Amino acid sequence: MRKSIRQWFFKLKYVIALAVFVVAVGFVGESSLWRRVGQRQEISRLREEIETYNRKFEEDKKVLNALKHDHEAVKEVARSRYYMKTDNEDIFIVEDDEE
């Protein structure tokens, strides 16, 4: 009986060592495969966020450039964002209740 257990262990020692190695590399430690998958997902999410901010930056840069060089753009922004008006006009604010 003792001899058969020893023979079984020597036959499977490489399989056992490989299984321990796969578990160690896959799930344990700082650079495990499990963490790498999570880090790649976070990198992807952050790249999308960077693209969103870059688009917003470009839009704001265009508006700022227009405000610097066009007096009508200043009037448009003042009227639309800050509800300013000239002396001879009235402003009506209409809100949609889309929920």
Residue 31 has what DSSP assignment? T
Three-state secondary structure call for residue 9 = helix
Contact 73, 67 (CB under 8 A): yes
More confident call, 90 vs 55: 55
pLDDT one-digit tens code per residue, 66-89: 889 988 888 888 777 777 777 787
pLDDT one-digit tens code per residue, 12-38: 888 888 888 888 877 777 778 888 899
Query: Which of 83, 35, 8, 24 has its CA nearest to residue 93?
Result: 83
The mean pLDDT of the chain is: 84
Question: Which band of pLDDT confidence, cut at 50, 70 and 90, is reported for residue 2?
Answer: low
Question: Which band of pLDDT confidence, cut at 50, 70 and 90, is reported for residue 58?
Answer: very high
